[in-house]
A and B are shown apart, each in its own frame.
Chain A
Amino acid sequence: MAKSLRPARLALHVYGVLVGLFLLLPTLVVVPLSFTGRRSLAFPPIGFSTQWYRNFFTDPDWFNSAVFSLKIALLVTVFATTLGTLAAVALTLGRARWKAAARGLLIAPMIVPGVITAIGIFYVFLRLGLTQNLWGFVFAHSVLAIPIVVVTVSASLSSFDRQLLRASASLGAGPLASLIQVMLPIIAPGVLSGALFAFLTSFDEAIVSLFLAGPFSRTLPIQIYQSVTAEIDPTIAAASTMLLGITTLCVVAAALVLARRDRRYS
């Protein structure tokens, strides 16, 4: 116990707290700022007003971008979760030798720097007429979200008892029936959290969206970015706060889903 009172150890704890605060606090600046009474970015904010939130819902630029982001994210969740889960199941159950290569290909979008992905997609989508287009965003974001779904579902599958599939077959269930009635319910938490992360990946995506954006087709992060460079508007803080709220909700939900899964099948 004397060890923990050593000055070095104490300094380490203090340092850890500082780093933790450095990680968490700065971002939270946008929350009080969103209630500022003045049209200024001065911090600490002066006055109190909820007009920036009102503005967010009434100003078409802001509101439409939020709705646009939401639509895209929901569609991306469907695409990415489906494709990612299929891939994860195939990679876990299959025994082909090129499994590792296939996995690498599917994870690649997560590894390649975003700007590189963005310009390739921008060029191709320009020729296909998919820029400034809902489906263009959906396909681009899906490709970026699939890796995270593959990783999440694969992790869930790694603790899946494959003996259960043998049991299911011996009891008369064909391959499809076994996957749907036995495997899917058990990996559902992993799939669900993968879906949540896919949603977040799309909702938060910025760099590819920057290239694909147009004056009437902007996602929320891009709207924020353009506003910061253009004008002083605390509505940005309101939008940011809401974005943070959604992120926190999704991450906490995903954590809860995964925690519950561990408890259920222990």
Chain B
Amino acid sequence: MTHGIDLEITGLTKRYGNATALDGVDLHIAAGEFMTLLGPSGSGKTTTLNIVAGFVEPDAGTVRLGDELLIGVPTYRREIGVVFQHYALFPHMRVAANVGFPLRQRHLPKAEIARKVGEILEIVGLSDLANRYPRELSGGQQQRVALARALVFGPKLLLLDEPLGALDKRLREGLQLEIKRIHRELGVTFVFVTHDQDEALVMSDRIAVFNDGRIEQVAAAHELYQKPSSLFAAQFLGDSNVFEGAVGGSGIDVTILADGLTLKAPVAAGAHGGRVALVIRPEKMRIDPHGHAVGSDSNALVGTITDVVYMGSRSRLLVATDDGRSIMADRMVPSTEFAIDDKVVVSWSAEDATVVDGGMPTTGLGK
């Protein structure tokens, strides 16, 4: 039906008084892509969206939609659809009138409006609710109406501002898949803003991680998860075990400053001396009873289990190592092998870890 257009953001800057909301943000979004802007509150993701939508003017930078420069163009002339967190449905109009609103602004003939409204309501699955008022609908239904309304006029770009934030978990997950389906069906470029990293992982083609007004990393979901490029990205997306230190030794050695712990890590040859952080996901950790032999390519620490957290599909074991660290290790099968106070050895393969620039305290909130 419709196809997307590409979006180019260059050098976007926005200040509010003394606070910098955006500090020179660059981002390219390909036509038809599902891009998520992910970050904690205040990181700049919503400001970026507002600037693209035209609700806010930037202090510097450009936004180009396909061939057209958007800065200076008022919102009502940008052909961009927006879905709001609290739906922003017009309470005095029925569903059909809400969805038909953008078409009436474009002075389409009544018959065509009715046809297009019918089609889009079909796509979002709300055909039999066309005559209701928004207040008569559930949250999930209202959000679908908002989607329909934002898509009915065939925009090439759809902005979604934390649209599922007001819904409960089950509803949210259902709608996530719905939105993905609609995206696939229509081929429109989607820019999705959220602070929920699970949501980002589920829905996106690519994710841009925002921190403090800057983009830390832009990558596909699995790449972001497996190979975060910064400590912030690593801690914001999923849980991590973090070891801070400096590159030392030869080849693949990282030395932990505080305790003189030497860990093997996949560091590029020649990268010496800088402060780094070693990041390993909990599911990459192995736990064996004390005394178990460990491979030569692995790092190992000895410790005691302090807690066993049952998380449904997996168990998380919290281990206090002998040198005072806390390690998270996940096991897929609910484990009855280990109990609190068991002495264990935690190990991981050197190549399963990622080395990021580190040592700075993170501003974001890890999970």
Contacts and interface: CB of A to CB of B under 8 A. Distances in A.
B317 to A, nearest CB: 46
Interface stretch (A32-40, A44-52, A163-171): A163-171
B149 A171 contact: yes
A171 B150 contact: yes
Given A167-B82, A169-B54, A265-B135, A174 B88 contact: no
B225 interface: no
A173 interface: yes
B135 A169 contact: no
A114 B80 CA distance: 53
B118 to A, nearest CB: 18
A174 B135 CA distance: 26
A171 B101 CA distance: 7
A265 B76 CA distance: 26
Interface in B141-183: 149-150, 153
Contacts of A265: 91-92, 135
Interface string A152-175: 000000000101101111111111
Interface string B89-129: 11110000000011001100000000000000000000000
B75 interface: yes
B338 interface: no
Interface in B53-109: 53-55, 74-82, 84, 86, 88-92, 101-102, 105-106
Contacts of A166: 53, 55, 75, 82, 84, 88
A171 B105 contact: yes
A87 B81 CA distance: 31
B92 A169 contact: no
B90 A164 contact: yes
Contacts of B82: 166-167, 170
A172 B54 contact: no
A176 to B, nearest CB: 10
Contact of B53 (A170, A178, A182, A266): A170
A173 B91 contact: no
B86 A174 contact: no
B148 to A, nearest CB: 12
Determine the main DSSP class of A at the interface with B. Answer: helix
A8 to B, nearest CB: 46
A172 B81 CA distance: 9
Contact of B76 (A163, A173, A264): A173
A163 B78 CA distance: 17
Interface residues of B, number: 27
B105 A173 contact: yes
Contact of A169 (B75, B79, B89): B75
A179 interface: no
Contact of B88 (A163, A173, A264): A163
Contacts of B75: 166, 169-170
Contacts of A17: none
Nearest to A171: B102
Contacts of A173: 76, 101-102, 105
A161 B88 contact: yes
B76 A174 contact: yes
A161 to B, nearest CB: 7
A185 B76 contact: no
A182 B92 CA distance: 8
B92 A170 contact: no
A186 B102 CA distance: 18
A172 B135 contact: no
A118 to B, nearest CB: 42
A67 interface: no
A18 interface: no
A164 B86 CA distance: 10
Contacts of A161: 86, 88
Contacts of B135: 264-266
A186 B91 contact: yes
A177 B74 CA distance: 14
Contacts of B54: 169-170
B174 to A, nearest CB: 24
A163 B153 contact: no
A14 to B, nearest CB: 44
Given A167-B89, A170-B75, A173-B102, 16 more contacts: A161-B88, A166-B53, A166-B88, A169-B76, A170-B54, A171-B102, A171-B105, A172-B76, A172-B77, A173-B101, A178-B76, A186-B90, A186-B91, A186-B92, A264-B91, A265-B135
Interface of B: 53-55, 74-82, 84, 86, 88-92, 101-102, 105-106, 135, 149-150, 153
13 contacts: A163-B84, A163-B88, A166-B53, A169-B76, A172-B77, A173-B101, A173-B102, A174-B76, A178-B76, A182-B90, A186-B90, A264-B91, A266-B135
